Chains A and B, each alone.
Chain A
Amino acid sequence: MAVTAVSGVEVRRPVPRLRRLEDERWLALALLVPTAVLLGLFIAYPFFEGVMLALSSSRVGIPGEFVGLKNFSKIWDDSIFRTAVWNTFWYTGVTTVFKLALGLWLAMLLNRHFKGKALVRAFILLPFIIPTVLSTFAWKWMFDPTFSVINWTLFHLGIITTRINWLGDPDLAMTSIIIVNIWRGVPFFAISLLAGLQTISPELNEAAAIDGARPWNRFWYVTWPLLLPVTMVVMLFSVIQTFADFQLVYVMTGGGPANATQLFATYAYQIGIGTGLLSEGAAISLAMFPFLFIIVVVQLLYIRRVETR
């Protein structure tokens, strides 16, 4: 049976459907279809559903009806939402600057040759590898108003005389979540930038050194321009992730005290799940989109400019 079938195929000419794939356009289409289907199912469809939800009056268990932009006008008028917008920008901006500076510094150090280099590189990744919820719980304990180990240390070193109310003071609460986000994000920057640094030929730096360039000049005029495309991509990922951060703040402060650490995602959860106002929660989530879209477009345009320079 099998022999007959094989020989049958051998003698028969290829069916027209398969011959079509010899045409590059059809082949490209065939190869793209699985990705397009996956993107459509898991990104485009949920996004479309999210948009439809945000334009409806849907609550949990009640489908609701089309209400246009009513949800958006309601959240625009909501002082907690405005606080969340400001907090998100501040949180993303400050953490990104620090993550970039510290990550770059760490990457430069790790790019040198020293004993146990591989081990140190592996350990650097730990904050990034540990599940965020677990590490955040550990940080929560460290910032605990009553049992903070940071306060204990500072007190015993004679630096403070009264305890610091890390998570109870609005500014300090924001500072605390920023510190934890930086701690978690620096390894990602460091390892990615390290990979970028390793693609830069050492000869370029050596040539600059021979020409008399000082270390800072070598970094600024040789290393940095070559590292810029990688840096921009890393920043792009980081900004997107930080802008939509949820679990860190949810575990540390729940958005408190008095909404001092409320972000887009935590407020969307509070409204969508806690209050059952699914459409309003979706509107808050979706309100992130234009901001993120502009940031991403600007960054992508900049990357293109840098790459084609």
Chain B
Amino acid sequence: MVKTKRRSVLKLAGGTAAVSLGGMAGILATGRTPAYAQQKTVHWLKWVDFVPATDTLFRKEMMPEAEKALGVKMNLETVNGNDLQPRITAAIQSGAGPDLIMSFNSYTHLYANSVVDMSALAEEVGTREGGLFPYAKAICSDGKMFMGMPWAVIGGMVAYRKSWFDEIGVDKFPDTWETYREAGKKLKAKGHPLGQTLGHTFGDAPGFTYPYLWSWGGKEVEADGKTVVINSKETLESVKFMTGFWKDAHDEGGLAWDDTNNNRAFLSQTIAATLNGASIYIEALRKPEQYQTEKGQPLNKDILHAPLPKGPAGQFGFHLLQSNMLMKYSKNQDAAKEFLKWLHTEANYRKFFESQKGFATPCTAKWESDPLWNVDPVMTPYKVAARLGQAIGNAGPPNAKAQEVLSKYIVTDMYAKAVQGMPAEESVKWAESELKKVYEV
């Protein structure tokens, strides 16, 4: 063992002190922070993707590439989708937190005062990629600025069991509510009802009730965004139809389901059809051994997707639109903007798009004709999600008031109350009075 002498330790310590003092003096003399402190860190907070391959791609490949290309340090943080709002609220109120935060739907309008305008990039990407869909524009822009940079749409389509529909003599997915109800009645009689949540859950419940309302011609407000018109003949018809439809065709446990229940019910072969993102199919594809039909075939071969049926007023969809908000409190706004610009270059966005295999639909027209949609015909229906989507608060803008109505589950509860036994007229009146408290104050 080498013996360390007291004198040599003192010498070393003195040397270190001298060097650091010299360094400090040097820094003070230049009046600039040292070079290592100048490297900026961009903190991006997003949801935990339902397609795990995407998060792996970001962590292992794209973030290191971004660091190299932009000379910044990337900090990618993923949280459960339900936890985004508490994080956004805490960050805004404390004035510190992630530079970029993923937004769901109208969060953009809710936090408009706390974000940086992304118009330049949104317009650049829109022009380059054949135009931004109106759905993305309505959600991300208030007409004056882009509160979020449109990222992708997580489409909601009905996943259904082809063989069970064949068994009841329905070889094409029903395209009207009446024919869907008839099919559902037969399926329920055979022990395979339709599955739909009417519970307090952010995705699948409003993803069904809003387009259902619109398809009957019902709407929350007039285009002025103030006059509440939900108490209409059309809405009443939709509620009346729903009560019978629920009893005839649905799994009645759906009143308590959250966004995961229908996945489990479908994968365990309890229900014949349910509105969902593509996660049921993707899970069945990942584990063909685990998920099999009663005939021992891989379940994924028996799943198809279709849009929600149409009503008297047409066919609609309300899909989860994701965007990225650049926060006003961020001290790295330029670097974060550069990162978003880099992320939205065609080559980089393609990596994300391909990793999703159709789970996410881009917000611009160009991608709708991408060859990826031909790879797996089961995923093809999702390609139109961004084009056909309609925003909440219809016929007004999807602003903070529309988000308040959504957060209070007023539209969903209008149907839930009716299927629980409240007369249709009363449940519509209840919804009207709640909507008025939001819109007409």
Contact = CB atoms under 8 A, between A and B. Distances in A.
Given A145-B261, A273-B85, A257 B199 contact: yes
Interface stretch (A20-28, A160-168, A217-225): A160-168
Given A60-B111, A275-B408, A145 B258 contact: no
B139 to A, nearest CB: 16
A277 B111 CA distance: 11
Contacts of A273: 85-86, 89
Interface residues of A, number: 37
A166 B251 CA distance: 13
Interface string B25-38: 00000000000000
A60 B201 contact: no
Q: Which bracket fits the contact residues of B? A: 35 or more
Interface string A252-282: 0111111100000000001111111110000
Interface in A126-179: 144-147, 163, 165-170, 173
A270 B254 contact: no
Contact of B89 (A60, A80, A170, A259): A60
Interface in B251-287: 251-258, 261, 264-265, 268, 270
Contacts of A272: 89
Nearest to B255: A168
Contact of B416 (A166, A258, A271, A278): A258
Interface stretch (B39-47, B123-131, B362-370, B399-407): B399-407
A62 interface: yes
Contacts of A74: 437, 441
B257 A145 contact: yes
A253 B420 contact: no
Contacts of B252: 145, 165, 168
A74 B85 CA distance: 24
A147 B254 CA distance: 12
B430 interface: yes
Contact of B255 (A80, A146, A169, A274): A169
Contacts, number: 115
B416 A275 contact: no
Contact of A275 (B407, B420, B437): B407
A275 B404 CA distance: 5
B113 A62 contact: yes
Contacts of B417: 258
A271 B434 CA distance: 14
The CB with the most chain B CB atoms within 10 A, among A60, A147, A165, A170, is that of A60
A61 interface: yes
Interface in B152-203: 198-201
Contacts of A278: 89, 93
A169 B441 CA distance: 33
Interface string B302-318: 00000000000000000
Given A61-B93, A270-B407, 8 more contacts: A145-B261, A163-B253, A165-B253, A168-B254, A257-B199, A258-B255, A270-B408, A275-B404
Interface of A: 59-62, 74, 77-80, 144-147, 163, 165-170, 173, 253-259, 270-278
- A-B pairs, top 9 by smallest CB distance, nearest first, are A145-B253, A167-B256, A168-B255, A256-B200, A61-B114, A254-B200, A274-B407, A168-B256, A258-B416
Interface of B: 85-86, 88-89, 92-93, 110-111, 113-114, 198-201, 251-258, 261, 264-265, 268, 270, 400, 403-404, 407-409, 413, 416-417, 420, 430, 433-434, 437, 441
14 contacts: A60-B88, A60-B110, A60-B114, A80-B434, A145-B253, A165-B253, A165-B255, A168-B199, A255-B200, A258-B409, A259-B413, A273-B86, A276-B400, A278-B89
